[in-house]
Amino acid sequence: MGYIHVYTGNGKGKTTAAFGLAIRAACAGKSVYIAQFVKGMKYSELDVSKYIPNIVVEQHGRNCFIVNTPTQEDIDLARKGFEKVSKYIMEGTFDVIVLDEINIAVYYKLITVDEVLQVLRNRHEKPEIILTGRYAPEEFVEYADLVSEILEIKHYYQKGVTARKGIEF
């Protein structure tokens, strides 16, 4: 049976860690699906399928990150994406499934903790499932088999460095 991972915390590297695991799995011949919630911007990792065809990445968000109150469009995109990934989780369509920023989608109430836990509890035995994002609900932390908290100790953003292509996006 696949395990449940949670990568959370206020430090940089949660999505990066999930993509690292995805690449490792793909290079071992496993199929990977990455659902990016609350993201619709153009990130370099969206091109991964050009280089590693057994990784599929789909975004389920608008072309901006939620800052205050989610719009109905934010809610609709997240719910549609969660419906799709839930089917993959329940059917065991992929060996590894990453729910990138699912914790943020739950934090903004686009999807509920109970909805996510219901899918995880009723999942197919095959997939390894990774949940990323700040503010992981305690229920996810308790349910998961592996939890990593990434803490920000120091960040070059504090010196005015903006996001760089290939590093932050």
Q: What is the pLDDT along the chain (169 residues), one digit of tens a residue?
A: 899 999 999 999 999 999 999 999 999 999 999 999 998 778 888 899 999 999 999 999 987 767 778 999 999 999 999 999 999 999 999 999 999 999 999 999 999 999 999 999 999 999 999 999 999 999 999 999 999 999 999 988 888 898 888 888 8
Residue whose C-alpha is closest to residue 65's, from 43, 44, 42, 38: 38
Identify any residues that bridge with 55 across adjacent strands, giving them in sequence order.
32
Does this model's pTM top 0.95? My answer is: no
Beta-carbon-side half-sphere exposure of residue 121 (alpha carbons within 13 Å) = 10
In 3D space, the residue among 158, 160, 157, 132 whose CA is nearest the CA of residue 146 turns out to be: 132
In order of start, what are the domains of the chain with their CATH numbers?
Answer: 16-44+66-159 (3.40.50.300)
Rg (CA), the chain: 15
